[in-house]
Amino acid sequence: MSNNTLTITDNRTGQTYEVPINDETIKAIDLRQVRVQADDFGLMTYDPGFTNTASCKSRITYIDGDKGILEYRGYPIEQLAEQSSFLEVAYLLIFGVLPTVDQLAHWEQRIMRHTYIHENLTDLLKTFRYDAHPMGILVSAIAAMSTLHPEAKQVHDSEVRLKQIYRILGKLPTVAAFAYRHRIGRPYNYPDSTLGYAGNFLYMLDFMGQSNYQVNPVLAHALDVLFILHADHEQNCSTSAMRGIASSEADPYSSMAGAAAALYGPLHGGANEAVLRMLREIGSVANIPGFIERVKKREVRLMGFGHRVYKNYDPRARIIKKIAYEVFEVTQKNPLLDIAIELERIALEDDYFISRKLYPNVDFYSGIIYQAMGFPEDMFPVLFALGRAPGWLAQWVEMVDDPDQKISRPRQIYLGERGRDYVAMERR
């Protein structure tokens, strides 16, 4: 008997089965042989939310939730945040290696040549109500891009895929900026590709015709690092949505619209917006104990805390906390920061949170920075999506090229009625 197997005894029949163990996992399909009657369907696993189910093999992002480790293609997030740039990290995630000087220059040049969006899309953005949530606009715009680039359906053509990757990375900031300008009733600033990625984004958001306008380098750098920190996070909810939709060979725009929609939820990328609302609801340090009591009674959740994988401090939250102070040097300090820091201090000493291994996650401090930079709260998940775009794309490419992968179609445990006869209306 090889030691890389699991022996299963079915006590219903006394039968034993040997199931191979590879990469610390067993294949769920290997359980189907466990049955009572020969014509039974066989055993399945039941795992709502996929808390203990691997959906794929990946070489993109590594997380150790207990140790608080996050690596993109093996490079620690702390080093990338400190030494890399967002577009370089995007290249790393998608191609698996750090680019040479020439490769990075070509990559940046190709992306920055795709910052303009089709005027049909510009017109579409103008049809939304002035107070439409920018995430609703972003999800719609990404889906609409599939109508402008029908060749994107050729998902197995690597050249066609690469062109869509340039387009998405180049155009998403423009869509986001136009959604913001639409929100505040100001004319759109068309992209200036001579500025850096984050600098061009800030320019499109803020330029109001000033003759002496300059992008603030501290804010541009802070945004670039925030995008790096959000760039990928293995099989999170929105990435799983991207993979699931793309498993039907849907084009990358339609798949990413679904991923962005998943990110919008307050339990996922919408949490940064929810954190700000929570801190403002708490209002002062004095109100924190009362709020904590409400959390313990399960009346509210401590937004920005907790994580499915991290059972230690989210390494991204630690880096973001440092960036906050750099940003506040330039902007006025956000008074909500004091509430956040005190809330974190109290929570980290309280057994309710300690016993549940609830620590600040990436969303706890990011919103405070975005607000200090002048972003309205409903733009926060949009900023998360801009950062996550290269991760979604890298995971998409890996999934399409993975020979193990097939269309995503889970099973179910059926508990409903069976074999009922239709009842005519007069007899109901």
Pick 199 or 390: Cβ nearer ligand SDX: 390
Single-letter amino acid, residue 249:
E
Question: Rounded to an integer, what distance in angstroms lies between the CA atom of residue 346 and that of residue 282?
Answer: 14
**362 or 382: whose CB is closer to ligand SDX?**
362
Question: Is 118 tagged catalytic?
Answer: no
The minimum distance between CB 246 and ligand SDX, in angstroms, equals 17
CB of 266 to ligand SDX, least distance (A): 7
Catalytic annotation present for 268 = yes
Q: Counting Cβ atoms within 10 Å, is residue 404 exposed (0-12), middle (13-18) or buried (19+)? A: exposed
In the complex with ligand SDX, the residue whose CB is nearer, 30 or 342, is: 342
In the complex, least distance from residue 416 CB atom to ligand SDX, rounded to whole angstroms = 26
Minimum distance from residue 235 beta carbon to ligand SDX (Å): 8
Of 10, 221, 268, 350, the active-site residue reads 268
Q: Length of the chain, please? A: 428
Provide the minimum distance between the beta carbon of 361 and ligand SDX in the complex, in angstroms, as a whole number. 4
Residue type present at position 345: R
Q: How is 162-181 classified by DSSP, letter by letter?
A: HHHHHHHHHHHHHHHHHHHH
Give the residues lining the site for ligand SDX (CB under 6 A).
49, 233, 236-237, 267-268, 271, 295, 301-309, 356, 358, 361-363
Identify which of residues 206 and 232 has a Cβ nearer to ligand SDX in the complex.
Answer: 232
| C-beta neighbour count of 25 within 10 angstroms | 12
Are 58 and 395 contacting, i.e. CB atoms less than 8 angstroms apart? yes
* CA-derived radius of gyration, the chain: 24
How far is the C-alpha of 231 from the C-alpha of 389, rounded, in Å? 7
**H helices then E strands: how many in the chain?**
17, 5
CA 145/CA 89 separation, integer angstroms: 24
| Active-site residue, 338 included | no
- Residue with smaller CB distance to ligand SDX, 56 or 160: 56
Q: Which of 206, 224, 232, 363 is catalytic?
A: 363
Q: Which of 224, 307, 314, 378 is catalytic?
A: 307
Report, as residue numbers or ranges, the catalytic residues.
268, 307, 363
